[in-house]
Structure 1
Amino acid sequence: MNAIEQDPALPLPPPQVAEDLVLGDLGRALAAGWRDFLAMPQFGIFFGGFYVLAGLAMGGAAIAGGEPTWLIPAMAGFPLVAPFVAVGLYEASRRREAGEAPSWRAVLGALKGHGDDQILSMGVIVFVAFSFWMIVAHAIFAVFMAESGMGGESVAALLTPAGLTMLAVGSAVGAVMAFAFYAMTVISLPMLVERKVDFLTAIIASFKVVRTNLFVMLAWAAIIAAVLFAAMIPAFLGLMVALPVLGHATWHLYRGAIA
């Protein structure tokens, strides 16, 4: 057997995690992500457009339902689903890096993973996490706004003392939940695209990368949050570019974090 081949009967070795990431790696990942976006914009615009349409539909539903304030927790939870939406972008970057021609069939089929439903299992986790965040946000809203007599139909309710307190508490709780979810998915989803591993192995590797490179990965989380938030302000339209660039860049950061 060739020395570089893996005997399918043997278990795969555990992923080797880099422990020496530096801030410069983030800049290089972003530059590589930008190059990938320019080289194959059709995939980025497709997935970014899907995200934009979802955001507009969500906003329209909140306004039509007479509760525009619910746009805030929904927008705050939007980045939770971004890693799953970007799975196709990871595959596009993987193929370009390997010198393979990206195709719509391969990119759209990336959600199937290696035919073992591991990525789809992560998708279920993503959906549950977003749903759980919305339940928590609803509970926080109920606790702080019930006595004010103002409901979600008025944005002015957010400027009351109760509203400002609610925003502060909700932001703190949301930040903790978002970082935990980020640590779980930032490396695991690209790994599931590239390697035939189970999602628990991928999640453990993702947490390890974040733990051993905490400052750099915190910086990457801050960059993602800031860019996505800024991109959502102009009617979500900035996500058409921000999401694909960050998706491609995350692939390249993963490649530097996992040997």
Structure 2
Amino acid sequence: MEITSERAHGIPPLGAPSSALFRKALSAGWRDFRAAPAFGLIVASLCLLAGWGMAGLTIWAGHTFWLVLGVFGFPLVAPFAALGTYEVSRLRGLGEAPSVGRVIHVLMHERGKHLPMLCALMMVMLLFWFFLGHMIFALFLGLKPMTNIMSSAEVFLSPNGLMMLAFGSAIGAGFALFLYAICVIGLPLLLDREVDCITATARSVMVVMGHPAPMLGWAAFISVTIVLAMIPAFLGLIVVLPWLGHASWHVYAGLKEAQDGAAAAPPPPSGVSAAP
């Protein structure tokens, strides 16, 4: 199978994010999901089965605190799980027909480039989060007689439990913010352009640092939506994961369009103010 679209080299100019851009991205993402749902549904179903398997294993082993770590750790690697939806939206934006086979082929074509490096970093961070979360749990609640959060949830309301939740949430937020900052633009950029991983992630961090309010608002929306989608036995991920994956691509594409529109706007006549 030939890859028909050549990737441009280098980082494109990116405009400023806005609430209107995010609303437009969510709407475009939903249209992409409805138009080409196959790949998103396949990946989301695999995530659903993985969630059920993890829940069953931790309950069977009697260590359900691992399930808590998994629930709050999944947003760290959600962009990796939704990577194929980026390619679906990219192809649709080029006017090409996406298919499961073509998306898999493109992703496999990327395995010798820089995209796997960023994906591997995400998985390492998730595993390290599990290790660190277990250490935090042991530090604050290791001596408490709790083996099942479903039957001993009141332990979390003890002084040690509340301190654990506060400390663990702060550490988890730091993990999430780091990965979000390098991935929100870095992942779609690596898929869209011929660029190295360091350059892509550095540009992604610059966008987040340059526009903290809208970009962190988008991060909060993604995190809360994914966590809520996992509450009903992970079933919400079937729709939410591909929808947000498509929308995330359109945020990147919208930043390119915003810059193109700003560059195309003619300057005001000499001596005439641009303000109304």
Q: TM-score, normalised by structure 2?
A: 0.85
Higher Rg of the two aligned structures: 2
* Residue 72 of structure 2 is aligned to residue 72 of structure 1: no
- Whichever residue aligns with residue 241 of structure 1, its letter is V
For the pair 1:31 / 2:27, whether they are aligned, the reply is yes
Residue number in structure 1 paired with 2:266: none
Of 75, 92, 95, the residue aligned with 1:96 is 92
Residues 53-75 of structure 1 show CA distances to partners (whole Å, capped at 9, x for unaligned) of 11111111111110112211111
1:207 to 205, 208, 213: 205
Residue in 2 that maps onto 1:17: 14
List alignment gaps of at least 5 residues for structure 1. Answer: 1-5
2:95 alignment partner, SS class: coil
8 Å CA contact 2:11, 2:195 repeated in 1: no
Q: Which runs of 4+ in 1 moved over 4 A?
A: none
Worse-matched range after superposition: 243-252 or 151-160: 151-160
2:148 corresponds in structure 1 to 153
Q: Distance in 2 between matches of 1:226 and 1:113?
A: 33
Which of residues 164, 172, 175 is equivalent to 1:174? 172
Letter in 2 for 1:108: I
TM-superposed CA distance for 1:210, in Å, is 0.8
Separation in 1 of the partners of 2:27 and 2:12?
25
Distance 2:63 2:130 in 1: 14
Q: Which residue does the alignment assign to 1:165?
A: 163
How far residue 251 of structure 1 moved from its aligned partner, in angstroms, is 0.2
Match of 2:134 among 127, 131, 138: 138
Shift of 1:119: 1.6
TM-score between both structures, scaled by the size of structure 1: 0.90
Per-residue CA distance 1:180-216 (angstroms, 9 max, x = gap): 1111111111111111111111111111111112111
Say what the alpha-carbon RMSD is for the aligned residues: 1.9
Evaluate the alpha carbon distance shift between residue 127 and residue 115 of structure 1 in structure 2; reply closer, same or farther with a 3 A threshold.
Answer: closer
Name which of structure 1's ranges 113-122 and 247-256 shifts more when overlaid on structure 2.
113-122
Q: In structure 2, how many angstroms separate the alpha carbons of the residues matched to 1:34 and 1:81?
A: 21
Matched length: 249
In structure 2, what is the Cα distance between the partners aligned to 1:158 and 1:210? 34
Identity %: 43
Over 3 Å counting, the alpha-carbon distance change for 1:187 and 1:152 in structure 2 is farther
Q: Quick one: distance in 2 between partners of 1:253 and 1:40? A: 18
